[in-house]
Amino acid sequence: MRIQGISGSRGVAVGNVYRYIQEEIVIPDYNVTEDKVEEEIGKFATAMASTLKQLDTIRKKALDEMGPEEAAIFEAHMQIAQDPSLSDGIKSLVESSHMNVVAATAQTIETFANIFLGMEDAYMRERGADIKDIGDRLMRNMLGMNPRGLSHISGEVILVAHDLAPSDTASLDKAVVKGIVTAAGGPTSHAAIMARTLEIPAVMGVGDIESFADGDKAVVLGTDGIVEINPSDADWTEYTNQALAFQEELKRLRESANLEATTIDGHHVELFGNIGKAKDAKHALTMGAQGIGLYRTEFLYMENDELPAEEIQFEEYKKVAQDMKGQPVIIRTMDIGGDKELKCLDLPSEMNPFLGYRAIRISLNRPDIFKVQLRALLRASAFGDIHIMYPMIASVEEVKQANAMLDECKEELAAEGKDFNKDIKVGIMIEVPAAAVISPILAKYVDFFSIGTNDLCQYTLAVDRMNEAIGSLYQPLHPGVLRLIKHVIDASHEQGKFTGMCGELASDPVATMILLGLGLDEFSMTASSIPLIKNILRSVSKTECEEVANKALTMDTAEEITEYAKSVLAEKGLL
Ligand code: PEP
Ligand code: MG
């Protein structure tokens, strides 16, 4: 039997079905009397203490086994669990309605989760699932039940579940779980993200798990989003071979992590990592990054109630510079606004936040904040090869103003006798179409460009990058976007400058040959994508990529370009 779902994680896996069905939580049906209210609230405090302890253990395990991105999920869970509005909500239901503490938790969690689950954006809906996961853990602790988890499974299985919460997947063993099928969720669900991190083929959103029985033979065709249950013997043999070939491919990719990103005709490409926190740099290095192409510093500002002091920022930037041992580290000045709100800055709500008071616009308007960051960056530049990058640049004036403030900071630091790199490289993100168009002018004022395709695509095509309803119109390989990318790369090269790319397109294997053919000097992406892209770069020649890029530029639609690029990759056995 063949079931069509949604692709969650690429690759082929075969195995016997293991249905993961959780022991249900039964919410006790009693109210507490006035004299027991305090005791009941005490149960909440005890359960919370156990919850935080468990989450911290999981966080450490995730950090060791899966990397900082996974660990951050549990860090976020710990923060959400400690949010006073959650505990206040639960306590007040016990106090005012005399509900038992489990029922009060269930109700409060439901209210909170529903706010997120009702949102249009898929990412925000997933945060609703996180809140439910925390509630589940709290209630299990209150009831003395075993926490959720997958550590009891043995053998080699295809895991079939309604959905998988972070708590489930944290104990997932890659040697045991060969493939994943979930009834719910899509490509942005936690289960899918985790499957991609662990490189386990996965299909999501198959509807229900009624068609699966424990022990059934199952094939997960992750790339196509298909599951085969009990196929014919001939098919089973064929799929088993495909699964083995996929494992071989993964092995090769891992082995290539430390190899150079050089094409077969000897052209070297900079393959860099994108990070959001200083401590992620080491992980990027293990995955084969030769530099950091985008350090999104806004997390430093978003985490705290206060603006981060110069000393705090300096320590963070210095850490990345030192961890990268002299390799380039491109640090972007804060890109607040748009979808990123700040607790420490009272930003006005706007009709069109992506077109509003954002990024460099805030920095230039608030030298008191911007100069703190620039000073920290300059001071950290004494410890490694830091480059400064300004986000959302649309005009030459903005670059001049930002650089004038940078010069002031340099003068101040020199007067204070502090060390910094006087020739620090300064570049800009190219993510506003006007900047792409005037890139030949902008190139005179900067050392490098980095193309932010996430924003460049949304602004060029007038397609909100967060709006799923128009997701199919979001086409980074649209001929219009491609022409802008070519224009920017050419403009930088004509003036001896370099162009990188740190938007998602840099990690899309379908785009790799085209981008290389257009002359992109540096590709920067989330660490987990580096091996895949490196393998492509090492398997092609610059010359053939130039032909592919030239041909792509003659095509009329994003679909044609995509199909063509895929066919070239497939021919080379790279898809
Ligand atoms: C981009 O716009 O492509 C980019 C890398 O910046 P961000 O995703 O942080 O807006
Ligand atoms: Mg951007």
pLDDT score at 569 = 95
What does the radius of gyration of the chain's CA atoms come to, in whole angstroms?
25
Is the separation of the CB atoms in 52 and 81 below 8 Å? yes
Mean pLDDT of 157-186: 87
Identify the residue with better confidence: 338 or 231. Answer: 231
Nearest to 60, CA basis, from 147, 171, 136: 171
The catalytic position among 77, 190, 283, 478 is: 190
Nearest to 165, CA basis, from 189, 141, 186: 189
Report CA(453)–ligand 2 centroid distance (Å). Answer: 7
Helix (H, G, I), strand (E, B) or coil at 519: coil
Give the confidence band of 63 by pLDDT, cuts at 50, 70, 90.
Answer: confident
Report CA(428)–ligand 2 centroid distance (Å). Answer: 11
Burial class (CB in 10 A: 0-12, 13-18, 19+), 260: middle
Nearest alpha carbon, ligand 1 atom 9? 296
pLDDT score at 488 = 98
How many CA within 13 A on the CB side of residue 193? Answer: 17
Report CA(394)–ligand 2 centroid distance (Å). Answer: 12
pLDDT score at 123 = 65
Is the separation of the CB atoms in 6 and 205 below 8 Å? yes
Nearest alpha carbon, ligand 1 atom 8? 454
Distance, first Cα to last Cα, the chain: 26
**CA distances, 248 to each of 279, 421, 575 (Å):** 31, 45, 14
Q: Which two tokens stand for residue 328?
A: 């380039």
Mean pLDDT of 447-454: 97
Strand pairing class (2-4; 157-161): unpaired
Mean pLDDT of 132-154: 84
Mean pLDDT of 257-262: 89
Average pLDDT, the chain: 91
d(CA 490, CA 483): 11
In ligand 1, the atom with minimum distance to the C-alpha of 502 is 5
**CA distances, 371 to each of 93, 381, 401, 448 (Å):** 47, 15, 12, 21
pTM (2 d.p.)? 0.71
> What percent of the chain has a predicted confidence (pLDDT) above 90?
67
Mean pLDDT of 228-251: 94
- Residue 190 annotated to the active site: yes
d(CA 294, CA 112): 34
Spatial CB neighbours of 449, under 8 Å, sequence gap ≥ 6: 427, 428, 429, 430, 439, 442, 443, 488, 492, 497, 498, 499, 500
d(CA 429, CA 451): 6
- Residue 77 annotated to the active site: no
In ligand 1, the atom with minimum distance to the C-alpha of 294 is 5
Residues with CB under 6 A from ligand 1: 294, 296, 335, 431, 452-455, 502-503
pLDDT score at 445 = 98
The catalytic position among 409, 457, 502, 545 is: 502
Sheet holding 177-182, edge to edge: 2-4, 226-229, 217-221, 12-20, 157-161, 177-182, 202-204, 6-9
Closest ligand to residue 334's CA: 1
- 541-562 pLDDT, tens digit per residue, is 999 999 999 999 999 999 999 9
Is the separation of the CB atoms in 25 and 148 below 8 Å? no
How many CA within 13 A on the CB side of residue 144? Answer: 1
Report CA(410)–ligand 1 centroid distance (Å). Answer: 28
- Which helix or strand (DSSP H or E) is residue 515 part of? helix 509-518
pLDDT score at 551 = 98
- 180-201 pLDDT, tens digit per residue, is 999 988 776 778 878 887 889 9
In ligand 1, the atom with minimum distance to the C-alpha of 296 is 9
Our mutation pick for probing the ligand 1 site, out of 298, 464, 502, counting the most ligand atoms within 8 A of Cβ, is 502
